[in-house]
Structure 1
């Protein structure tokens, strides 16, 4: 049996609509089984894969297949456009 790890998740810009209970700058703290990948955490949160362009863990870019670890600060960032 895998132990749970606690991670802190933030989303920005257009991804905020999928987590409307979070205010600007707020994070969701969640417990997930040890070894759960960043992509699996994204799925749990209901964030569409095609809208997530960058994943950061503890201020460093990460890959979707990387596992989350206890205490990680995970940020999902969408593509942004401007002019």
Structure 2
């Protein structure tokens, strides 16, 4: 169950920081009963960032594997040779 706190509780910053540190899930901060933002521990945020980056890499790997299996790839040496001849390098 998510923890919700009103924005006025942010006045006591040390208590709010303690709440964030001891609560395993994100803290939802509300204003007038509506969600305003979510606060999480920085270690949890870092883990979310790593997970998202890993997901993007895996997705790109799947696309690359599909392109390779469809024969839509080019040899690197051939590509460099084509670029050199095209642009006179």
TM-score for both structures, normalised by structure 1: 0.23
Higher strand share: 1
Q: Which has the higher contact order (CA 8 A, sep 6+)?
A: 1
TM-score normalised per structure 2: 0.22
Which is higher, the Rg of structure 1 or of structure 2?
2
